[in-house]
């Protein structure tokens, strides 16, 4: 039976990246304190109580998904900025980008009776146009309830990020991300995975998803709408930059304020909207960098 390797909370980014490169997934046990897990459950409860479920086989008729986590929960803001996850994501994705961005936030609650989700590669959201040699994602699922094979722990096919596109796993090649609350599953955008079946009668499995992508790709969750400027104004400059209110290169992601008659906000970094120093947190490369890259 396939398994996912576990590391302790004191793991180094080198150890995490080494396993991710080999297996496509790794679990870090006990990275989050119990109080933070409790706070996440408290923050998310009002949204999960609305009982809005998926609308098809893929999203799951008994699975709830709650987005806009950065605007909705301070505890989720801290999760997005977890230093070990950010450093690991940056190290793993560094060959393909100047920096990373937060790409997707979601609380996914799988209720009793849910069937197993179709195994998939998250990179498919870009329509298959990205060449395989470019890895676009470092994704995390934080357990805020127990994750067991019986209650819907994420299915992962270790090593499948190296497989041909058409190969399907045998049952014994599928591992289950069993973990305690406060642990986190890290996985790539190319490894096969999917939600597990919930065969229990009384347990809801809930995870907090934070996915990080190359800063030059379109984000899956539109952060400018899920966390519009009046919400973003309350965030730290670091988190604002991470969700996209920063340039992703010399000119990538600039804006002009259509209502600014002073012309001070013409072709500037989004950080100018919040009166922060524009260049402090985003990866702002100079024109030389842009010119050199365009010659590749």
Ligand X SMILES: O=C(O)CCC(=O)C(=O)O
First to last CA, the chain: 44
Cβ distance to ligand X smaller for residue 156 or 239: 156
Please count the other Cβ atoms lying within 10 Å of the Cβ belonging to residue 120: 12
Q: Confirm or reject binding of residue 154 to ligand X (CB under 6 A).
A: yes
Q: Which residue has the tokens 């804006």?
A: 255
Buried b / exposed e over 72-87, threshold 16 CB at 10 Å, is bbebbbebbbbebbbe
Site for ligand X in 220-259 (CB under 6 A): none
Token pair for 97 = 């980008």
User: Cβ of residue 246: shortest distance to ligand X, in angstroms?
Assistant: 27
Residue of 80, 85, 108, 214 interacting with ligand X (CB under 6 A): 108
Looking at 34-42, 126-134, 192-200, 262-270, which segment touches ligand X (CB under 6 A)? 192-200
Looking at 82-90, 193-201, 213-221, 237-245, which segment touches ligand X (CB under 6 A)? 193-201
Q: Do 26 and 4 touch, CB atoms closer than 8 A?
A: yes
For 113, residues 6+ apart whose C-beta sits below 8 A from its C-beta are 62, 198
For 288, residues 6+ apart whose C-beta sits below 8 A from its C-beta are none
Cβ distance to ligand X smaller for residue 32 or 156: 156
Residues 98, 143: Cα–Cα separation, whole Å: 30
User: Cβ of residue 60: shortest distance to ligand X, in angstroms?
Assistant: 8
User: Cβ of residue 262: shortest distance to ligand X, in angstroms?
Assistant: 45
Residues 51, 268: Cα–Cα separation, whole Å: 41
Cβ distance to ligand X smaller for residue 43 or 122: 122
Torsions phi, psi for 176 (to 5 deg): -125, 130
Residue of 193, 211, 240, 247 interacting with ligand X (CB under 6 A): 193
Looking at 43-51, 162-170, 189-197, 219-227, which segment touches ligand X (CB under 6 A)? 189-197
User: Cβ of residue 57: shortest distance to ligand X, in angstroms?
Assistant: 11
Cβ distance to ligand X smaller for residue 141 or 243: 141
Binding-site ranges for ligand X (CB under 6 A): 108, 110, 117, 141, 154, 193-195, 207
């Amino acid at each position: 039976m396939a398994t996912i390797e576990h590391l302790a909370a004191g793991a180094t980014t080198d150890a995490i990246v080494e396993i991710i490169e080999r297996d496509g997934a790794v679990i870090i046990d006990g990275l989050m304190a119990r109080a933070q897990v409790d706070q996440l459950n408290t923050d998310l409860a009002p949204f999960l109580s609305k009982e809005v479920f998926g609308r098809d086989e893929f999203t799951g008729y008994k699975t709830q998904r709650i987005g806009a986590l950065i605007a909705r929960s301070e505890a989720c803001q801290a999760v997005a900025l977890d230093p070990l996850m950010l450093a690991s994501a940056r190290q793993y994705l560094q060959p393909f980008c100047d920096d990373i961005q937060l790409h997707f936030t979601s609380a996914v609650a799988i209720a009793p009776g849910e069937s197993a989700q179709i195994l998939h590669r998250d990179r498919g959201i870009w329509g298959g146009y990205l060449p395989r040699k470019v890895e676009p994602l470092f994704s995390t699922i934080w357990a805020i309830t127990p994750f067991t094979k019986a209650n819907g722990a994420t299915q992962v096919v270790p090593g499948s990020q190296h497989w041909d596109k058409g190969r399907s796993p045998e049952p014994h090649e599928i591992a289950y991300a069993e973990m305690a609350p406060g642990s986190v599953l890290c996985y790539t955008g190319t490894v096969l995975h999917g939600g597990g079946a919930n065969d229990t009668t009384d347990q809801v499995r809930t995870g907090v998803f934070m996915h990080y992508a190359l800063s030059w790709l379109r984000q899956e969750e539109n952060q400018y709408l899920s966390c519009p400027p009046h919400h973003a104004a309350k965030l730290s400059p670091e988190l604002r930059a991470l969700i996209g209110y920063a340039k992703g290169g010399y000119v990538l992601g600039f804006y002009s304020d259509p209502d600014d008659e002073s012309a001070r906000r013409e072709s500037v970094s989004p950080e100018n909207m919040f009166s922060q120093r524009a260049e402090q947190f985003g990866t702002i490369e100079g024109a030389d960098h842009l010119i050199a890259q365009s010659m590749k």
